[in-house]
Amino acid sequence: MAKHEILIVDDEVGIRELLSEILQDEGYAVATAENATAARNYRNQTEPRLVLLDIWMPDTDGVTLLKEWSRNGQLTMPVIMMSGHATIDTAVEATRIGALDFLEKPIGLQKLFAAVKRAFSHQGTPSKPQQGLSSLGSSGLIRELQNDLDKVRAQTLPVLLTGEPGVGFEACARYLTAANAPFIAPLSHEELALAPQELLQKAAGGTLFLRDIAYMEHKAQTGLLSILSKLEKSRVRLVSATSRPLLQLSSQLDAELLRQATQLIVPVPPLRDHPGDIPALAENLLAQAVASNRLGPRRFSNTALQALAKQRWPGNVDQLANVVKSLALTGRDGEIDVNHVNRLLAQLATPDMQDELPSAPIGQPMTSFDLDLPLREARDQFERYYLERQIDLAGGNMSRVAERIGLERTHLYRKLKQLGIQMPKKFKNHCDE
C-alpha cells in the first residue's frame, strides 16, 4: 500500500506549500490537508509516518484533533505541533496528550529538519492511546456510563458489569484500570480453579477482569472465594461481567461469592439504545481494520453508514466490529457502498427474526436450537455448533481458530475433546505430544 511519509496540516496555503516544497527537496513524500476535517479523513484511510499539525485552525483546533486521534487509538505516529501564537500551557498540554515536539512559527529550517529527524528516529515507540470509552461511542448515554464508572473508580470494592453480550465489558474494565497498571483477564475460568493465587500476584496493583461469571463452575468459584479477602492487600480491583439477569446468578453462584461480587453494579447499555454512535464507530473500526491489515484506502458512503445505523445489532459493538472488519477485508479500495453493506447485513438473520434473535454466523442461515434442554446441555449444543463452524471457516487451521475465538490452543483442545468434536489429525497429534 502506498504510504506518504509526512502529512502537513495547516489552514494557511502558503505555509502548506512552503513546508511541502522544503521537505520534498529533502527527499520526503508529502501529503497536505487544509483543515482538521481533511486530516481526519486522510488518517481514516491510511497512516502517515509523521504529522506536522497546526494548532490554530478554523474548524477544529490541532489539540482537539490530537485528543480525538488519541481516544480513537489512531495516534500511532509521531505528531509535531506548529503555531505562531501558542502559549506554554498549550504546548505542555499537547505533549501530555502525545505530541512528540513543538515548532514555533516562523519555523527555521534547522529546527524543522532536526524535529523531523527526531520524529523518524522515534518510529519504534509509537504513542500509546489514552485509555477511554471511545470504542463504545461518545453519545450522552456513553457519557452517563462514564460518569457511573468514574464514581466506582474511587472505590476499592468489586464491580459487576451487566448487559448484553458484546456491549463492551472489557473496555469498561480497562477504563477502571490506572494507566500502566496490570490488567489480567484470564481466557477461561479454569485458571481460577487451578491457580487463583498466581492470578492475584499477576494482577497486583491493577485489575483482575472476569468474563461472564454466570458460567463459572464450582472449582473456579472456590478459587475466587480464596482470594477475595486478599484483594485489598494486593491492591487488586475485581471487575466481573455477566450477560445474565441477576436473578439467574443467585441459582448459579455461591451465596457469599455473589454477595461480594455484586457490591457495585454498573449496567452497560446495548448499542441499539445509542444508534447515533454507530456511524462514527463504524468509521473508526474501518480505519483500524485498514491499518492492521495493511489495506488500501477504504471509506463508507453516507448511505452505507445510514444502513449500519438502522441495524439492531443483537451482538452489539462486538458484532459491529466483526461486520466492519468483514466489509474491509472483502471490499476494494475506495468507497464501500450501501449495496455491499446490505448484502452482508441480509445474512445476519432471517427477516421475521431480525429484531428478536441473535445473528447467525456471516454467510450462514439461522440455526435452530432446542431451547427446552437444561442449561448445560443447551450450552454444549451451541458450543459444538459454534466450534464446528469456526473450524470450517478456518479451513481446519486450528491456530487460526484459537486466535479467532480468543482461546489458548490447549484449552481449545480440551473443549473439542469434551464436546466430542472430531479434530484434524495433525492438530490432535500435536496436542498429544
**Do 146 and 86 belong together in one domain?**
no
Q: 269, 301, 334 — which closes off a domain?
A: 269
CATH number at residue 347: 1.10.8.60
**Do 31 and 93 belong together in one domain?**
yes
**Do 295 and 278 belong together in one domain?**
yes
**Do 83 and 196 belong together in one domain?**
no
**Do 265 and 145 belong together in one domain?**
yes
**Do 319 and 379 belong together in one domain?**
no
Q: How confident is the model at residue 361 (pLDDT cuts 50, 70, 90)?
A: very low
Q: Is residue 213 part of a domain?
A: yes
DSSP notation for 383-424: HHHHHHHHHHHTTT-HHHHHHHHT--HHHHHHHHHHHTPPPP
Look at 374 and 150; give whichever has higher pLDDT.
150
CA–CA separation, 36 and 10 (whole Å): 8
- Total domains present in the chain: 4
Q: Is residue 370 part of a domain?
A: no
**Do 100 and 19 belong together in one domain?**
yes
Q: Within a 13 Å sphere around the CA of 3, how many CA atoms are in the beta-carbon half?
A: 15
**Do 162 and 99 belong together in one domain?**
no
pLDDT value at residue 146: 92
Provide the strand spans (E) within 116-255. Answer: 159-162, 183-184, 207-210, 237-242
What are the residues whose beta carbons fall under 8 Å from the beta carbon of 126, sequence distance 6 or more?
A: 75, 76, 77, 78
**Do 93 and 42 belong together in one domain?**
yes
Q: Cα-flanking dihedrals φ and ψ of residue 217, to 5°? A: -80, 170
Q: Is residue 249 part of a domain?
A: yes
Q: pLDDT for 27-43, tens place per residue?
A: 899 999 999 989 988 88
pLDDT value at residue 357: 36
- Domain span including residue 74: 6-121
Q: 269, 295, 327 — which closes off a domain?
A: 269
Q: Is residue 180 part of a domain?
A: yes
Q: Is residue 241 part of a domain?
A: yes
CATH number at residue 424: 1.10.10.60
- Asked if 242 contacts 212 with a C-beta cutoff of 8 angstroms, the reply is yes
Q: 93, 121, 149 — which closes off a domain?
A: 121
Q: Is residue 135 part of a domain?
A: no
pLDDT value at residue 129: 42
pLDDT at 310 > cutoff 60: yes
pLDDT value at residue 9: 96
CATH number at residue 74: 3.40.50.2300
- Asked if 196 contacts 224 with a C-beta cutoff of 8 angstroms, the reply is yes
Q: pLDDT for 90-102, tens place per residue?
A: 777 787 777 888 8
Q: Which amino acid is at 69?
A: W
pLDDT at 426 > cutoff 60: no
The model carries a pTM of 0.56
CB atoms within 10 A of CB 298: 21
123 burial type by CB count under 10 A (0-12 exposed, 13-18 middle, 19+ buried): exposed
Q: Within a 13 Å sphere around the CA of 326, how many CA atoms are in the beta-carbon half?
A: 18
**Grid cell in block for residue 127:** 504513542
Segment 399-427 mean pLDDT: 72
**Grid cell in block for residue 176:** 477502571
pLDDT value at residue 190: 83
CATH number at residue 150: 3.40.50.300
- Asked if 405 contacts 399 with a C-beta cutoff of 8 angstroms, the reply is no
CA–CA separation, 257 and 356 (whole Å): 33
Q: How confident is the model at residue 124 (pLDDT cuts 50, 70, 90)?
A: very low
**Grid cell in block for residue 90:** 498549550
**Do 259 and 315 belong together in one domain?**
no
CA–CA separation, 412 and 387 (whole Å): 9
Q: Is residue 290 part of a domain?
A: yes
**Do 304 and 248 belong together in one domain?**
no
Q: Which of 336, 361, 222 is nearest to 282 (CA)?
A: 336
pLDDT value at residue 373: 64
CA–CA separation, 9 and 34 (whole Å): 6
CA–CA separation, 347 and 365 (whole Å): 7
Q: Is residue 214 part of a domain?
A: yes
3-state SS class at 237: strand
% of the chain at pLDDT higher than 90 = 33
**Do 149 and 265 belong together in one domain?**
yes
pLDDT value at residue 298: 87
